[in-house]
Chain A
Amino acid sequence: MLQSFLSATPTFAHYLRLAGYQTCLSGKMHFAGPDQLHEYEERLTTDIYPSDFCWMPNWSEPDAKVTFQDIQNVIETGPCLASMQIDYEDDVNTQAVRWLYDRRAKGERNGLTAQYAPHICRHRRGARSGLENERLLSRSGIDR
């Protein structure tokens, strides 16, 4: 039976808590609805994508396309100097690493989930030529 993801549905976070772990989420999870935790005790970042039903597809009218649900996602994949997703990843990473060190210092057991938006990423440092930089800047829409 198809159903929404109810708060009454046990998640692995419930089992982790029952086993004595602290549960924490850093990053995106695509929870759509009022429960943005589903038994994570803490959430370090907000989600990158909508928490409401605005991305709901419409299979009754397949031509009524919803934004981000086409091949454009794939076409735009690739290296990029700066983007919303990279901003988000930086935040997710910083918060997650800080949280882990903090808990480690206190000697606590924890279960952390770090979720990234991995479709766009930076080149590894030093792997870019000047020409590539130009191209990446123009792709990023950054006004130099």
Chain B
Amino acid sequence: MSMYLFENVEHEERYKTKIFVTSVEHSSFHWHYDYELILILKGSLQIKVGSRVALLGPRDIILLNSQEAHELQRTEEENLCLFIQINKTMISDLKNDSKLYYFYLDSKDQKHVPKNGYKAYIRMAACIGTESLKKELCNIYRVKSLIYMMIADLFEFTLCDIHQKPKEINGKNSLSLLMYIIDFIRGNFKDNNILENLYKSVGVSEKSVYRILKTNIGLSPKSLVLNNRIENAKYMLKFSDKPIEYITCNSGFCSGSTFYRTFKKMTGVTPAEYRERGGDVSVDSNIKGYLKFDIKEALYLLQNLVDEI
């Protein structure tokens, strides 16, 4: 469903890591096993990690840890970001899958600064970006080694916690419950009775679900469901020809008026207006041109980082 390829990450066979440049619209709370490094090349991006909100600008870098719930949201500005999604098996101890390494890397965070500073990671990410655009065998190996160098630096220089899971994974700690709830909602937001079904399925009380979500991502269950529904609607409005009535039902809304009201409240425009505009925010007439232009700009921005930092 998502055009940003966050959840179902296909990895380059060659280096188990997906590297790409794109501009971000919106991605509501989700998690994945991959470690995701985001480097802002242009503009700004709002990232919610757990209950923390960070506003990242150009040359800011952040690492989203494996299984860490997060939400991305573009701001008024256009943005251009480099994504490096690293397969968990490149980082975790293959012998012992019950360990989850949690690295503190967020250039907006002044409390947990890595011992080698943030610039090192910005530069490394930019190098990985530029190198990944070339496709010779030597480039592939270089990308691999750059990624491993960065992982080594993470282990050596950043603050790192280990979240240890029990050998038998039927324990219900808050991390596993959180992931379960987020997944359930992502998979079932189209149901009218989603929340009731959720409480039954997860085997935990309504109060507990509320508490888990609110503490970890700052949203109530209802809000998270709505986010998912609206995101789905936006996608369908922008990329499909389906009629609005169809989209209403498909997004889990029972009535057209509820859909209309909710959509307007959350996005500022009506569904029809949104479709006309072809998507979010700024009026950019030449969509195709925007994409092509991005790649050249991306290369330029990345190379600058490599040279300057």
Q: Are chains A and B native binding partners rather than an unrelated pairing?
A: no
